Chains A and B, each alone.
Chain A
Amino acid sequence: DQQVKQNSPSLSVQEGRISILNCDYTNSMFDYFLWYKKYPAEGPTFLISISSIKDKNEDGRFTVFLNKSAKHLSLHIVPSQPGDSAVYFCAARGSGAGSYQLTFGKGTKLSVIP
């Protein structure tokens, strides 16, 4: 059961360039999407989110794009910095009444090379 898929387990990017992390989902009931960043020995840290009524949300160097018809979202980091090296999780939440659980992808490990 992989309702949220992150097909790239890892990604390496040069410092200063753009990092693009991708996420696909299968459940059309998902209406809210989040990206979390996780460093080793720490819990996931909220990064940015997007509601299904939008197709883009931007916060500083981070932008999330949502393509509902393709059931695809992506996280862009520009410019990438070595401190961005972490595991990035895509997560989604359904619109069903009383359902607030997050469904996570398996994560993509981003390495930003100085």
Chain B
Amino acid sequence: EPEVTQTPSHQVTQMGQEVILRCVPISNHLYFYWYRQILGQKVEFLVSFYNNEISEKSEIFDDQFSVERPDGSNFTLKIRSTKLEDSAMYFCASSARRGANEKLFFGSGTQLSVL
């Protein structure tokens, strides 16, 4: 069964450093998302991406965050200058279509630890 692949599974970085989290969505999917889950809290929406542009973003997704689809397969989340509170599990997700009955497929996540 096709799956969303995320790398790395764990990322440790120093506060203020830039990190790039990578995702390979399911190949025929068109809609891409990033969510995150801070330990002990709920899964939160960050951003959605379609047709090479952001279609929706949350308040969390400020100027320190950016997303890119640099080629036909990868979808990346960049945090320019990490903060301690960015420590979380980051999930990439993709779907084949929008609208009624949209079904998101999630990757296994990247655990980001900011020290």
List chain A positions with a Cβ less than 8 A from chain B: 4, 32, 36, 41-46, 49, 51, 89, 91, 93, 98-107
List the 9 shortest-distance A-B pairs measured between CB atoms, nearest first. Answer: A43-B106, A101-B45, A104-B43, A106-B42, A44-B106, A104-B42, A43-B108, A43-B107, A42-B108
Closest Cβ neighbor of A99 among chain B residues: B56
B41, B104, B108: most-surrounded residue (chain A CB, <10 A): B104
**Interface-centre pick from A41, A42, A43 (highest chain B CB count, 10 A):** A43
Rounded to whole angstroms, the CA-CA distance of A43 and B92 in the bound complex is 9
Give me 16 A-to-B residue pairs in the complex whose CB atoms sit less than 8 angstroms apart, sorted by A's number: A4-B42, A32-B100, A43-B6, A43-B108, A46-B105, A49-B103, A99-B56, A100-B48, A100-B56, A101-B33, A101-B45, A101-B58, A102-B104, A103-B45, A104-B44, A106-B42
Closest partner residue, chain A, to B106 (CB atom): A43
B67 CB to closest chain A CB, in angstroms? 14
B104 touches A46 (CB 8 A): yes
Q: A43-B4, A104-B43, A105-B42 are in contact. List 15 more A-B contacts (CB 8 A).
A: A32-B100, A32-B101, A41-B108, A43-B107, A45-B106, A46-B104, A51-B101, A98-B55, A100-B31, A100-B56, A101-B33, A101-B48, A101-B56, A104-B44, A106-B42
Are A98 and B41 within 8 A (Cβ)? no
Chain B CB within 10 A, most for which of A42, A91, A102, A107: A102
Q: Which of B62-115 contact A (CB under 8 A)?
A: 91, 93, 98, 100-109
Q: How large is the interface on B (under 10, 10 to 19, 20 to 34, 35 or more residues)?
A: 20 to 34
Q: Which residues of B contact A41 (CB under 8 A)?
A: 108
Interface-central residue, B33, B43, B58, B93, by most chain A CB under 10 Å: B43
Residues of chain B whose beta carbon lies under 8 Å from any beta carbon of chain A? 4, 6, 31, 33, 35, 41-45, 48, 55-56, 58, 91, 93, 98, 100-109
Q: Tell me the smallest distance from the CB of A15 to a CB of chain B, in Å.
A: 26
Tell me the complex Cα distance, A103–B35, Å.
10
- Complex CA gap A4/B107 in Å reads 23
Contact between chains at B43 and A89 (CB < 8 Å)? yes
